[in-house]
Amino acid sequence: MRDVRMRGFAERVDVEEVERFLERRVQALPSEPVPLGESAGRVLSEDVTAEVNVPGFARAAMDGYALRGEDTFGASAYNPLSLELIGEALPGRPFAGMLGPGRAVRIMTGAAVPEGADAVSMAEVCQERDGRVEVREPVAPQKNVGAVGEDIQRGAVVLRAGRRLRPQDVGVLASIGVAEVDCVRRPRIELLITGDELLPAGSRPEGCRIVDSNSVMLRALVGRDGGEVLPFEILPDRPEAIRTALARDEADVVLVSGGSSVGQEDHAPRILAELGSLDFHGVSMRPSSPAGCGRVEGRWVFLLPGNPVSCLCAYEFFAGPSIRALGGRSRDWPQRRAHVPLARKIVSAVGRTDYVRVAILDGRATPIATSGASILSSTVRASGAVIVPRELEGMSEGTTVEVLLYDDEFEVVS
């Protein structure tokens, strides 16, 4: 392998080529059983079929009186019909007997409709008197009765494989008696944060040392994408340290922050190539052109440049979609979009994909001026990012662009 250190990339691949490669190779992880109470947000790995009817018994949909509908035919305010009250049915405490003609049972919503009854007359149109019930309105058979299986039929496929469970999905699963569901395993992510200049997050920057901001940002991004970050330490820029860490078999994905470029201390690409494969290194994009990816045994390794904006950008293009795919989610970028005109032109170069931070003001997107890859605060000032595709030389003022919004709550005024 050519050592790119202090020489630079001989050539760079297109973003799309890396994306296509990852799309082909990165597949969902195997499944694991997950207790229902922890399953919201997880991705089902197989269809779930109901083994029971819900409800499993005919139940009252109203508070009132269970009776035979035909016994009420002809009832009115002027001609109340009187039925013998023979008992009571409460939720979970059914009426034990059989209901014959001319009889009624007091019943509450959710209680089993007694055998022999076929309707429930609302309390509002009935009146109890001396052990009898007067009914002032006719009620058709089946009225106010929830039929067996009206919610879910036994044998029905309730949810399909690939479904990311919503809160109500989990509720439905509980209703059919499920205690555990098979979900795609959450990808485990190892962070290799490299840099002799780095102090751990939480420290105060001092002298020529800076605080590691990438790990904090990556942790949040991985969380958003359904992955689980393993405990980590900051690694020195020493080949042995990086080699040992890359060889460790604990994660599904390794995110290497820093040391991915062509500097003298950038050891990760070479070590990755030695231990496994360096599938790509150097991408025609800005920022994050020194990004790369490869594999060591079954683990995916993403080389994310240390400059924080590059790190964010390389994560979003390559690591994020792969982590989502491993977890059974969609590879698509999860950001909400706004479509707004450009307040100022964006200059790019043909052959290169650009990730441009923009601020949306008065319904127009303005590219942020101080936008070097090391200026993380530019992403804080930005409302989102515009991606300028490889084939464009830029975008002129007034062009409607799609902004990938950084906020979920951002009010989209177009």
Least distance in angstroms from the C-beta of 189 to Mg ion: 20
Least distance in angstroms from the C-beta of 200 to Mg ion: 15
The torsion angles phi and psi of 228, rounded to 5 degrees, stand at -125, 125
| DSSP one-letter string for 193-251 | EE-TTEE-BTBPPBTTBEE--HHHHHHHHHHHTT-EEPP--EEPS-HHHHHHHHH----
Of the candidate spans 126-134, 252-260, 346-354, 385-393, the one that interacts with ligand AMP by CB under 6 A turns out to be 252-260
Of the candidate spans 129-137, 139-147, 190-198, 335-343, the one that interacts with ligand AMP by CB under 6 A turns out to be 190-198
**One of 39, 121, 214, 289 touching ligand AMP (CB under 6 A):** 214
> Angle at the Cα of 283 (from 277 to 288), degrees rounded to 5?
105
In sequence order, which residues have a C-beta less than 8 Å from that of residue 226 and are 6 or more positions away? 41, 43, 186, 187, 323, 324, 327, 329
Interface with ligand AMP (CB under 6 A), residue total: 19
**One of 258, 287, 294, 328 touching Mg ion (CB under 5 A):** 258
Query: Which neighbouring-strand residues pair with 54?
Result: 152
Three-class SS string for 53-78? CECCCCEECCCEEEECHHHHCCCCCC
In sequence order, which residues have a C-beta less than 8 Å from that of residue 70 and are 6 or more positions away? 141
Q: How far is CA 234 from the centre of its chain?
A: 29
Judged by CB under 6 A, does residue 72 bind ligand AMP? no
Angle between helix 268-275 and helix 239-247 axes, rounded to 10 deg: 40
Site string for ligand AMP, 286-305 (x = CB under 6 A): -------------------x
Smaller CB separation from ligand AMP, 79 or 370:
370
Interface with Mg ion (CB under 5 A), residue total: 4
**One of 69, 146, 227, 258 touching ligand AMP (CB under 6 A):** 258
Alpha-carbon torsion (77, 83, 84, 89), positive or negative:
negative
Smaller CB separation from Mg ion, 94 or 290:
290
Structure tokens given for 41: 């947000």
**One of 146, 282, 287, 306 touching Mg ion (CB under 5 A):** 306
Of the candidate spans 43-51, 113-121, 191-199, 324-332, the one that interacts with Mg ion by CB under 5 A turns out to be 191-199
Judged by CB under 5 A, does residue 259 bind Mg ion? yes
Contact 77, 138 (CB under 8 A): no
Peptide bond connecting 305 to the previous residue in cis, omega within 30 degrees of 0: no
Judged by CB under 6 A, does residue 379 bind ligand AMP? no
Least distance in angstroms from the C-beta of 306 to Mg ion: 5
Smaller CB separation from ligand AMP, 200 or 363:
200
**One of 263, 336, 406, 410 touching ligand AMP (CB under 6 A):** 263
Smaller CB separation from ligand AMP, 200 or 223:
200
Least distance in angstroms from the C-beta of 46 to Mg ion: 44
Contact 112, 54 (CB under 8 A): no
Smaller CB separation from ligand AMP, 193 or 275:
193
End-to-end CA distance of the chain: 50
Q: What share of the chain is helix, strand, coil (3-state, %, to 5)?
A: 20, 35, 45
Judged by CB under 6 A, does residue 268 bind ligand AMP? no
In the complex, the residues that contact ligand AMP under the rule CB under 6 A are 193, 195, 197-198, 210, 212-214, 257-261, 263, 305-308, 374
In the complex, the residues that contact Mg ion under the rule CB under 5 A are 195, 258-259, 306
